[in-house]
């Protein structure tokens, strides 16, 4: 039973330490979130799972980490200075601003009577600041609105140093910033967020083939990490939706409580970006194929996902409530690679005879997995706490452990338990968790 109400996840996130309102002690900062002990681990796991699928297990993609601050020339070339905007309207009564394309009616979203809206005007979404102590046109820099441009401007560097050739990809995970007019829906749309993007450079004639390949490949990544297929769909953009650089774009959408929303976009960016940066920089950004004696500017297929909204989708899809021993429990059925903790080590009591053994078990397992160590409250309450934060397995060290050298391993989803010798735990979890 995936979460039907966003508040179920918002409340759990605050109560268990997934996400907090930023600067909460000062009243909070709108649409900005700090990630707590569990949220920070889960975000890292989402990124690690993406890197594992997109870079580690492939021989045709490399990883970079480009700068967040960029000079205006980067975004003049990319078209962001001219085109990266949303239609903005002002309510003349409540004085608030809204995206025109998100107003369902001519009634103010604040439900105030007699509202009227101004004509729409373009609002550029990029954050601008000054580099150095003197402000002015010569000191203007921008916080990147996407990680993509760092991969395009480094195309020649990566081509020369990695010895790759098309088809190959450059991947990046990092912060981006957009001055959204109407952020909201918890961590789904915020002004500061993280992206997981990959630019896949291909011969122009192969662009359509790779576009279809990456649509399927990326959809299956979400399914393989625990999201039910019926909660996902592919939606092709209409022509009037396409970005200025796109010859075709498809969104992977998730069924959020408020309806279908974008998780990831897969775009055919053609040779737009490399051509533009070559033109503005005066540098060659093409590829010479010695096999065909041909020089060409590669086309690009781009899968681009949001880390934060992907985390939100995993939480919503994993949320469940069932009954165990006549008690209702909340459980997050998270994939082991996504869950903040893979294993919790629970000594049955705080007695000195059990603690050294439990600490030894924790030390052995934490070398391979992120583990929690919990020795407070009754064992049943600790099980419920681990269920609610999505920990796949609990390892209980009890008094029998002192006699037989084995521990009790409890499964989160089925609540079944089995005895496993301590020396067999690593092999056991390799088979159980898959890594």
**Segment 245-300, tens digit of pLDDT:** 888 899 999 999 999 999 999 999 999 999 999 999 999 999 999 999 999 999 99
Q: 405: left (phi > 0), else alpha (psi -120 to 50), else beta? A: left
Coil, helix or strand at residue 315: helix
The better pLDDT of the pair 148, 86 is held by 148
What does 378-429 look like in DSSP terms, one character per residue?
Answer: -HHHHHHHHHHHT-SEEEEE-TTHHHHSEEEEEETTT--EEEEEGGGHHHHH
Pick the CATH number of 341-433 from 3.30.365.10, 3.40.50.800, 3.50.50.60, 2.60.34.10: 3.40.50.800
Class of domain 6-72+129-315: alpha beta
Cis peptide before 222 (omega within 30 of 0): no
* Domain spans, the chain: 6-72+129-315, 85-124, 341-433
pLDDT surpasses 90 at 331: yes
- Count of CA atoms in the C-beta half-sphere (13 A) of 40: 7
Residues shown for the chain: 435
- Count of CA atoms in the C-beta half-sphere (13 A) of 66: 28
DSSP 226: T
Rounded CA-CA distance 376/358 in Å is 14
Question: Of 53-67, 108-122, 137-151, 335-349, which range is least confident?
Answer: 108-122
């Amino acid at each position: 039973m995936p979460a039907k109400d966003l508040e179920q996840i918002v409340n759990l996130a605050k109560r268990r330490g997934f996400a907090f309102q930023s600067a909460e002690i000062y009243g909070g900062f709108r649409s900005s979130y700090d990630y707590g002990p569990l949220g920070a681990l889960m975000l890292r796991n989402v990124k690690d799972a993406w890197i594992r699928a997109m870079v580690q297990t492939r021989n045709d993609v490399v990883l970079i980490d480009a700068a967040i601050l960029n000079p205006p020339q980067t975004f003049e070339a990319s078209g962001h200075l001219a085109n990266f905007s949303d239609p903005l309207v002002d309510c003349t009564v409540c004085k608030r601003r809204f995206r025109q394309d998100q107003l369902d009616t001519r009634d103010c979203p604040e439900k105030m009577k007699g509202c009227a809206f101004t004509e729409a005007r373009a609002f550029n979404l990029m954050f601008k600041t000054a580099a150095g102590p003197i402000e002015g046109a010569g000191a203007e820099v921008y916080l990147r609105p996407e990680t993509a441009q760092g991969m395009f401007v480094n195309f020649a560097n990566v081509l020369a140093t990695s010895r790759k050739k098309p088809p190959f990809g450059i991947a990046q995970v990092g912060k981006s910033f957009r001055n959204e007019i109407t952020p909201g829906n918890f961590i789904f749309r915020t002004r500061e967020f993280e992206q997981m993007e990959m630019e896949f450079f291909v011969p122009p004639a192969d662009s359509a083939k790779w576009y279809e390949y990456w649509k399927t490949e990326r959809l299956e990544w979400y399914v393989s990490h625990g999201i039910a297929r019926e909660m996902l769909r592919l939606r092709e953009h209409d022509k009037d939706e396409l970005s200025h650089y796109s010859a075709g774009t498809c969104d992977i959408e998730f069924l959020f409580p408020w309806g279908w929303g974008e998780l990831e976009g897969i775009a055919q960016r053609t040779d737009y970006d490399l051509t533009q940066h070559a033109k503005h920089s005066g540098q060659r950004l093409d590829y010479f194929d010695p096999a065909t004696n041909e020089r060409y500017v590669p086309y690009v297929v781009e899968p681009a996902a949001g880390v934060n909204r992907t985390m939100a989708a995993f939480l919503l899809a994993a949320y469940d409530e069932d009954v165990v021993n006549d008690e209702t429990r909340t459980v997050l059925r998270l994939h082991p690679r996504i869950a903040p903790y893979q294993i919790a080590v629970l000594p049955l009591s705080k007695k000195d005879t059990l603690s050294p053994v439990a600490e030894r078990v924790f030390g052995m397992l934490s070398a391979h997995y992120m583990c929690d160590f919990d020795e407070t409250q009754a064992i049943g309450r600790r099980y419920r706490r681990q269920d609610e934060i999505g920990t796949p397995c609990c390892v209980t060290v009890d008094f029998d452990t002192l006699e037989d050298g084995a521990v009790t391993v409890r499964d989160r989803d089925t609540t079944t338990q089995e005895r496993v010798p301590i020396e067999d735990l690593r092999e056991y979890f390799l088979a159980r968790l898959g890594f």
